[in-house]
A and B are shown apart, each in its own frame.
Chain A
């Protein structure tokens, strides 16, 4: 497979070399890789805090860390995982890399804004790490007032500013993606010929642009209140802490859809590719993505059922939260229908995608339990909630992210990863994940509250199981770091389309040239038209 070096065409990696060419690049593919490096580092940092938490929870008493330190651990775990890993994860890595390629464009609409967004991201991260190094924050990632504004003695303002700055990176990314998908599609690529990856990333971008500014202003108000000692959320001055919660959750609920929609985007690509069939119900899935993004803005009050909102408000939010399960379910049904009757190959990306469907379904259905007012009063602020959102964020998004990385690895690196160890790693992640988080559903139902370093001794056994699972999960996450990087250097060359999948990105070299395509493609068929492309895909090895 090795051609003579003088004849090897330049690709985006070899085009210009040296660290400055990376730091000043405007190539969306290189920026995607810059982001990948950053979020991987933050993932392991956030994961390290989680591991410390799980070690503390191995015993009922507070013995590894003090309660105040434990508060800081779960806060930093949440802040880093939500804002510095999950939200940028798929959009800024796989989205950056593949949206232009999937639509046949040379780059995003605003390449320099894209690079700026990475620097702003790193600035926000730097400020947050500064807060971490000065002792961390102990308010919980939710920054509830008046504790965060009046009583906490930790570095709340620094953390708030770090997250606020990071928010601008998100807004820039969302803006870039929306404009790109509207204006930069290749000739013949109508909206209903777009891969679902683009539809879901578009829906994600809608949320990024509309919700993130509200987070920025909310955190700004918290910072102003702390610094100027004025009372916006201070009851003594007539302020209302519940107003903070309204403003915070107006962003943070749609934020969870920012985290899951890209996962669905990736799964919508992997399932047809490895079932070798068109995606079932294309329009239903496309519109469901938009529906999730829109409906996601109507349900934030379900985080506030016990906060003191009015009953009518709570009932409205509860009802709307039930509605939003529908488009997600539509997607799950359509993915399943796609697999049915297909020529399925169980490569690693498919393992992760199917794992996503199962775990996301469990997580999503437990969300319905939480949406029921009466049940929520019992399980809110317990480990039930924690298990619910980890099933979606970790069992869902992280698995989809790993699936996407494996699926597109040959395109990004030009090399194939070792399949055997990759499958072992996927199985380890799946096993470790379920062992970690399933006991937490039971713990929550039995009444163990969240954010406590100590617990009653009757919860001991389940906590031990959970911690054991966490250590297995950690191994499963570390493995890809090694074999993927190994394969970059030593793996076999992958060729343009090793999976024989549809999609414009597979029509160009692996790794792609700087401008993605030698000639701008003209699209005359739908996104998953395996029938029309049967001949063509057989020819490519």
Chain B
């Protein structure tokens, strides 16, 4: 169980950094937004992992059953709303990318910077 816990956290670290790599190293703007989504998903995974209690069940009371151990509901609430906010901000980013494409004719970061210089 200890190793599995560490593995969850390591996967979080690796996913976070894969997303971050796409944001910093890829010149394509849509690829950057994809990377940002991966980064975001990694943070979600960390929160949900921390809320897990071993031997527990989802935090929903059941009629006539007592003595259940529940996982922490608070991280779930935070992440539940963060997912929907995340898609809205991603859509805003995509809207900006589309306008950039219309104005510059390109969605590659280096080409856009080149055009801005001239």
Please determine whether chains A and B interact with each other in the same assembly: no
| Residues in A lying within 8 Å of B, measured CB to CB | none
| Residues in B lying within 8 Å of A, measured CB to CB | none
